């Protein structure tokens, strides 16, 4: 196993006025208030399912709850903004009733939806799979909201992304993508920018593993690095299994991501990810 020589620059996030250190990697638990996410075990469209899932995420040790209402799986159905907001509101009301102080991120590429979630429900972070490409108002909106922004790499839309997997130089093109957008966000006054390489989005199976192998190059950008590979096709297509059988593969890749410099793991299985963080952190802190 190669331990990456990633700079140990202290990083933190301002989440609703609380400065959260990233000296220990954080675990972000996925809350899908959708009927059609790729992993059936994560779908929680009904209120009682949402409540049970929120309790599970918190009890298993998540640092952040990431709520999403628009499935980003390939060929996912498009839904209207009003329907997305309706689903999010149902979940956010439950979160704020059960855990009013919880750190919450909203997974949306729509500026108006992000704004409502922050202003009406106290959401502290915006997670945009499109890197600002699907709503030209997103960067200005995040700057106005003054919340951390997760900048993900994707080409096209969830419906078309897997037809846009050609790269002349994958890593170089992605590094340029992030550098250009970070500069635009900084010019607007956005301070907390998290980069997400977008595993599975507009990338072939080989691209995903090439990206994992060179993850440290993104960690060197000096920004918090988020990795989301939980139960994705890069696992079950390689192994000839299914999302339901991909927990072990997820833990392996989460370990590699942490060794590559990841600061946040976005996962379905919080307990296992928290254990992975604890074990890897202990190993790296132990020295020779």
Known catalytic residues are: 232, 266
Q: How far apart are the first and last CA of the chain?
A: 15
**d(C-alpha 208, C-alpha 257), whole Å:** 12
Q: Which residues contact 11 (CB under 8 A, 6 or more apart)?
A: 21, 22, 23, 223, 224, 263
- Type and span of the H or E element at 65: strand 64-68
Largest CA distance in the chain: 55
Helical H segments across 68-110, by residue range = 81-98
Paired strand residues for 65:
29, 104
Q: Are strands 18-21 and 12-15 parallel, antiparallel or unpaired?
A: antiparallel
């Amino acid at each position: 196993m190669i331990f990456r020589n990633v700079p140990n620059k202290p990083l933190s996030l301002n989440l609703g006025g609380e400065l959260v250190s990233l000296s220990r990697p954080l675990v972000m638990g996925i809350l899908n208030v959708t009927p059609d996410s790729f992993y059936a075990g994560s779908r929680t469209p009904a209120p009682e399912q949402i409540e049970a899932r929120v309790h599970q995420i918190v009890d298993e040790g998540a640092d952040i709850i990431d709520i999403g209402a628009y499935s980003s799986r390939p060929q996912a159905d498009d839904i209207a903004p009003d329907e997305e907001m309706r689903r999010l509101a149902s979940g956010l009301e439950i979160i704020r009733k059960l855990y009013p102080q919880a750190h919450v991120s909203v997974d949306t590429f729509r500026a108006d939806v992000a704004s409502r979630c922050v202003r009406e429900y106290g959401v502290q972070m915006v997670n945009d799979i499109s890197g600002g490409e699907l709503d030209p108002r997103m960067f200005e909106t995040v700057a106005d909201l003054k919340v951390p922004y997760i900048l993900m790499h994707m080409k096209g839309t969830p419906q078309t992304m897997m037809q846009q997997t050609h790269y002349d130089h994958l890593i170089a093109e992605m590094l340029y993508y992030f550098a250009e957008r970070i500069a635009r966000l900084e010019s607007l006054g956005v301070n907390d920018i998290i980069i997400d390489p977008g595993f599975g989005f507009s990338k072939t199976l080989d691209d995903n593993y090439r990206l994992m192998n060179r993850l440290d190059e993104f960690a060197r950008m000096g920004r918090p690095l988020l990795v989301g590979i939980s139960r994705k096709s890069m696992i079950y297509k390689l192994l000839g299994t299914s999302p339901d059988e991909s927990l072990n593969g997820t833990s392996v890749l989460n370990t590699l991501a942490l060794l590559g410099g990841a600061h946040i793991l976005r996962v379905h299985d919080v307990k296992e990810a928290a254990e992975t963080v604890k074990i890897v952190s202990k190993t790296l802190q132990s020295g020779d």
